[in-house]
Amino acid sequence: MTTVSVALIYPDLLGTYGDGGNAMVLAQRLRWRRYEAEVVTVTAGQAVPDSCDLYVVGGGEDLPQALAAARLLESKALHRAVASGAAVLAVCAGLQILGEAFAGAGGEAIEGLGLLPCVTRISARPRAIGEILVRPAGRWSGLGLLTGFENHGALTTLLPGAAAAGHVLAGVGNEDGTGEGVVSGRIWGTYLHGPVLARNPRLADLLLSWVVGDLAPLDDAEPSALHDERTENGPGERRRAGGVLGAPALSWAKGHLGKLASQKFAKQPEVRQTESG
C-alpha cells in the first residue's frame, strides 16, 4: 500500500493556532484505518513538495503570512499539487493566502495564490474573536454543524459564483456576516480554529475521502463529545463575551439555548471581562 502523505506547510510561519493539530488528526485517522500515513513538515527554508496527497496551511501573523505567500507564489508547488488533485485545508491566514489577494500589515493588497475565489481586505469593524458555529451549505449538509473559534481582523469577500463553506449561526465568518469560508474543488478554506479537524471529525473524513475514497468508521466517542459540547456551549459563550451574533444566528441561538437544561455537559459560568495577568 502506498503511503498517504499530509504536508504541513510552514508551521514556523503559519502555526499560530495549533494548526499542526489538523495534520495530526488527518494522519491518525488514516493510521487507525490501517493506511500508511506520514506528516511531511515543510518549514520556511525547505522546498514545498508538489506530490503530497493533502496539504494543511494554517494561521499566522501579518509578516510571516506575507513571507509564506511570496514563497508559495514563487515555487507554484501548491498550484501543481492542486492541479493534480491534492486536497487542501486552508485555515485563517491560510485561507487568505489562497485567495486572489489579501491585506498586508499596513492594509496594502498583497497578491494571493489565486486558488480560492475570494479577496480579503482590512476591516474597520472590531476584530472577530470568539466561538463560531456554522451550518454547512447544501452539498456539505451531511457534515452536521461545524464548530470552531475565529480570530481575524481582516474580512473575506467571495467573488461572484464562489461558494461559502456554510451559513454562520453564531460568530462573524466572511464579510457579509452570513457565510463562512470558501470551498472550491478540493480546497476547503475556513476561519475555524480549534483546530477545526479536532472539533469536527466528519470534516476530517470528508477531506480524507477526497483522497482515499470511502472510509471505515472509527471510534469517535471523544471527538464527537467535544463536537457536541462546543456546538451546544459555543454560541452562549460568544453571546456572553459580547461577540457578534447576526439576526438569523440570534433566533437560532435563542431556540437552541432553551435546550440547555437537558445538556449533558457542565455549563460554563458567566465570563466577565476582568483584569488578568
Partner 1 sequence: MPPAVKLPARAHLAALAGAGVGALSRVTGRGGGSVVGGHVILALEPKALARFSAGRRVVLVSGTNGKTTTTKLLARALSSAGREEVITNATGANLSTGLAATLASGRPGATAVLEVDEAWLGLVAGEVEPAAIVLLNLSRDQLDRNNEVRQVAERWRRACGALRPGSVVVANADDPLVVWAAAVAADVRWVGAGLTWTSDACGCPRCGGEVHFGGGPQPASKEQARRRAAPGGWRCASCGFARPDPVIWLADDDLTGRDRDAGHVDQVNLDRIDLPGANLPGANLPDTNLPGANLPDADIRELGAAWAGHAGYAVEASGVVHEVALRLPGRCNQANAVVVLAAATSLGYGASGVLSAMAEVEEVAGRYATVRSGGTTARLLLAKNPAGWAEVFTMLTPPPGPVVVAINARTADGQDPSWLWDVPFERLRGRPVVATGERYLDLAVRLHYAEVEHACDPGLLSAIAASGPGRADVVANYTAFHQVLAATRSTGDDRARRGPREAGPREAGPREAGPREAGPREVADREADRGGAGKGGLL
Using CB under 8 A as the binding rule, whether residue 268 contacts partner 1 is answered as: yes
E-only strand ranges, 76-206: 87-91, 101-103, 109-111, 118-121, 128-136, 146-152, 155-158, 166-170, 179-180, 182-184, 187-190
Residue (of 175, 63, 64, 173) closest to 129 by Cα position: 173
Print the binding letters for residues 20-59 with partner 1: x by CB under 8 A, - otherwise: xx-xxx-xx---------xx-x--xx--------------
x/- letters, 190..229, toward partner 1 (CB under 8 A) = ---xxx--xx----------------------xx-xx--x
What nine digits make up the cell of 150? Answer: 475565529
In b/e form, how buried is each residue of 133-152, taking b as 16+ CB within 10 angstroms? Answer: bbbbbeebeebbbbbbbbbb
Closest CA to 50 of 89, 112, 7: 7
**11 binds partner 1 per the rule CB under 8 A:** yes
Least separation in angstroms between CB 162 and partner 1: 26
With cell 457579509, the residue in question is: 176
**Residues 67-86 close enough to bind partner 1 by CB under 8 A:** 67
Q: Residue 242 and residue 244: Cα distance in Å, rounded?
A: 7
Q: Quick one: 10 or 158, whose CB is closer to partner 1?
A: 10
17 binds partner 1 (CB under 8 A): yes
Within 10 Å of residue 257's Cβ, how many Cβ atoms? 15
Residues 228-267 that bind partner 1 (CB under 8 A): 229, 237, 241, 265-267
Which of 138, 213, 259, 276 is the binder for partner 1 (CB under 8 A)? 276
- The reply on whether position 151 binds partner 1 by CB under 8 A is yes
| Torsion over CA: 185, 187, 190, 192 (sign) | positive
Is the Cβ–Cβ distance between 271 and 242 less than 8 Å? Answer: no
Which of 142, 161, 255, 277 touches partner 1 (CB under 8 A)? 277
| Residues found near partner 1 in the complex (CB under 8 A) | 8, 11-13, 15-21, 23-25, 27-28, 38-39, 41, 44-45, 61-64, 66-67, 127, 129-131, 149, 151, 193-195, 198-199, 222-223, 225-226, 229, 237, 241, 265-277
